[in-house]
């Protein structure tokens, strides 16, 4: 009996700041896409209304990046646990179609910390994910697509260029000539671009 082809749920978050800056930093937007059979099959996004806000100086730095105003978040967002439960419901919906799903994030260390705060699950981790790519390391350690991409690209470039392999999703997007009609630092946009990078790696 053949094993079912795995799918990948690529997740991204936008936040009220960087996690190390304040204990009250949390998610304001979640986005995720389902990558399966070499395509993005579905997507989901939600706005989150934080239960607590970090100090204004912390949030203003985040605002400069994602442009999500507090007024919009308060008006359109749902409470953190409502967002988490909705995310789990969508995951279950996808898993009914694709039984084997691996969670991924471009910068998993960042996004998993934010999801742990959102769900109230200290120590939340993503498992290592096999990616089905032609590379010495065919795995996203801890679900980190950025680390997997770095390892994959080192095998695609001449040795002298290896020290210049960059980490940003924007750099990877340009490297693969992935286009987007919406600006970066939107959770769904970034999850979609990361999913497209995964597809490019798998097809190479």
- Assess if residue 178 is contained within a domain: yes
How far apart are the C-alpha atoms of 192 and 23, rounded to whole Å? 29
Buried b (16+ CB within 10 A) or exposed e, 44-54: bbbbbbbeebb
- Assess if residue 2 is contained within a domain: no
Domain count of the fold of the chain: 1
- Assess if residue 62 is contained within a domain: yes
Q: What is the pLDDT of residue 162?
A: 47
- Assess if residue 80 is contained within a domain: yes
Residues 111-115: what's their mean pLDDT? 97
- CB contact at 8 A, 204 and 149: no
CA nearest neighbour of 70 among 14, 31, 12: 14
Domain housing 21: 7-203
Model pLDDT for residues 81-93, shown as the tens digit of each residue: 999 999 999 999 9
Mean pLDDT across the chain, nearest whole number? 90
Tell me which of 2 and 124 has the higher pLDDT: 124
CATH of the domain at 110: 3.30.420.10
- CB contact at 8 A, 124 and 20: no
Model pLDDT for residues 127-163, shown as the tens digit of each residue: 999 998 766 567 899 999 999 998 888 766 444 444 4
- Assess if residue 1 is contained within a domain: no
């Amino acid at each position: 009996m053949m094993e079912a082809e795995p799918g990948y749920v690529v997740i991204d978050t936008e936040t009220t700041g960087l996690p190390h800056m304040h204990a009250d930093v949390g998610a304001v937007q979640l986005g995720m896409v389902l990558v399966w059979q070499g395509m993005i099959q579905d997507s989901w996004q939600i706005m989150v209304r934080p239960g607590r806000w970090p100090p204004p100086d912390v949030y203003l730095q985040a605002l400069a990046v994602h442009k999500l105003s507090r007024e919009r978040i308060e008006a359109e967002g749902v409470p953190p646990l409502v967002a988490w439960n909705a995310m789990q419901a969508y995951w279950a919906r996808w898993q009914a179609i694709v039984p084997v799903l691996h969670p991924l994030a471009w910068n998993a260390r960042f996004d998993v910390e934010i999801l742990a705060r959102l769900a109230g699950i200290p120590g939340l981790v993503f498992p290592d994910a096999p990616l089905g790519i032609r590379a010495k390391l065919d795995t996203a350690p801890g679900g980190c697509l950025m680390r997997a991409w770095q390892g994959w690209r080192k095998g695609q470039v001449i040795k002298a260029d290896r020290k210049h392999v960059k980490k940003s999703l924007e750099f990877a997007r340009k490297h693969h000539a992935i286009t987007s009609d919406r600006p970066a630092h939107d959770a769904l946009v970034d999850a979609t671009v990361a999913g497209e990078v995964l597809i490019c790696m798998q097809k190479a």
